[in-house]
Structure 1
Amino acid sequence: MRLKPVSRVRSAAHRRALSGLLAVSLLVLAACGSESSDADEGSASLSSVTVEGKQGEAPEVTFDGRLDPSKTETDVVIEGDGEDVAAGDTVEAQWWIGNGYTEKETQSTFEGEPQSLELGDEVLPFLTDTMVGHKVGDRILALIPSDKAFGKFGGARFGIGNRDAAVIVVDIMGRSDTVPPPPTVPPLDGPQGEEKKPAGWAPTLLEQDGIITGLDFTEAHKPTGELIATTLIKGDGAKVKSGQTLIVNYLGQVYDAEAPFDESYTGEPAEFPIGVGSVIAGWDERLVGRTVGSRVILEIPPNKGYGEEGNADAGIKGTDTLFFVIDILGVSEAD
């Protein structure tokens, strides 16, 4: 079932819907990841984790033993003196995620600008639960079971298995008393901005009557296992922020496949929250910070896509590398 045209007014439910297979291939993420046995589960508590560094800068996190995946603990590592944070507030924040079983970092936003998001239903539980009740300026360390941190689908897209403990470091950088109104600028009909020469590794776009129909991998490199992106058009619009609803046209194709597994160019643009875990990690990590009007190609390895289980409904195996061409047509604040 396709979305109605983006120019029409939508309800909150419609704004969270995706067209056709995208609802399966991007939003319904399998709860894969490591399935550590009970004998292998750790027993260490949050006190065994050391966090060093200044608030607002990437933390240095060290572990002293595997963490208990059944515990929920929090600790304020650095105390701020700002305003209290409540549910529904719009905050600026940075976060770091680690796996308490493997003792490795799995995601960090500290390489870029602070993320702006409204604490509520659109935000993953670990962000809302960790920040609400704390202050601007706080650095919070949390130990949370995977299902409680990331919801019923678990944290596979964050490299956290179903029976692993999630270790979260959150810096609350600021708070806004008012939620900005949705922009009045309508979505674009297509990419708009400065044309760029794509990277040599990228597949070639196949078009018919000006509509993208697929990707040609003849001159493309073999997948590297890394999450990479190249810009074909650098948009001249607003910068995409975490928590916003993104309006895009896209086409997705498995490396060396003859046809795409999903696309929106022949139908209506898709809408979904970005930067908050509603889509595969590769989209969240490479679309936040880009500008409206941009056209990009993403190469997404399995661990930033659907993990070892893949996505059977979309015909994607756990070893498949995904390529997407994406046109960013607009952004609006999430309902």
Structure 2
Amino acid sequence: MSRRLRRLPVLLLPLVLGTTLVACGSDSGSDGDDSSSSDALHGITITGDVGEAPKVKWDGKLDVSKTETTVVTEGDGDKVAEGDQVSANIWIGNGATQKQAYSTYDKGGKPESIPASAELNPVFKDAILGQTIGSRVAVTATAADAFGESGNPQMGIGNKDTVLMIVDLMSVTTVLDGPDGKEQKAPSWAPGLVTDADKVTGLDFSGTPKPNGKLRSAALIEGSGDKVKKGQNITVNYLGQVYDGKKPFDESYSGEPASFAIGVGQVVPGWDKTLVGATVGSRMILAIPPADGYGKKGNSQAGIKGTDTLYFVVDILAAS
């Protein structure tokens, strides 16, 4: 999702969405149990069960010049395919200092939600796409290949360091191609949708009454899936436009769907308040007053004033 809608930055965004990095080869293998030490791991030993924080025994400073991927434990679940939404625990170590740099297990084992798509950082891609759920996959790489020329100072990883990434694939959710459910009558307060084939390209405010300052939401298509719960990671396509605006200030239909946790403050309050309880497959229309959007300051980067009411169409494609 665009940072225009986020309240907080995403720590792993440079890792997961580093589309400008050069693709690297991989060397995959499996020993079928819960420990591994191989040539691709340069003497590093990884022990522990999938779903629990790994124990890592380093064999001195990690010195690598290319990216290598090793299946430490091979799971027996579904194979991850393009377009899936993967729930994964991630552990990252600095190969120069042999210290942990980041771990989702430090956050109570709450996995990251990762879209399995061509947008994945090439270093990360082989650890996700084509692997089976229940697997533990390790990647050794240079910091420059993993994070870009600057490394990742936020994690204490310099651009000349090396990294060890361990990915535990916990579950997978199939992402819908579009809304799936029963069409509903649009409410009188809602703008019309401008579409190109199956993509929403804008909102038409002709004849739409002025906003009344209230937070509003309605399903244009009532999804046939489960209800979205607070704290779940949801995957959506969306488009946002201010009332009577001539063009959208943000949208995802022309690119990849967005994924984020809902109901926990990662997005504007109006989304948290209206999308929790909606069903997967729904196409929602939202009217969000400033108090539930960006407040009196607005968002100058997006051209949103503090008095603007935001209108969104949101397609809920998955929840996990």
TM-score (norm 1): 0.47
Higher Cα Rg, which structure: 2
TM-score (norm 2): 0.49
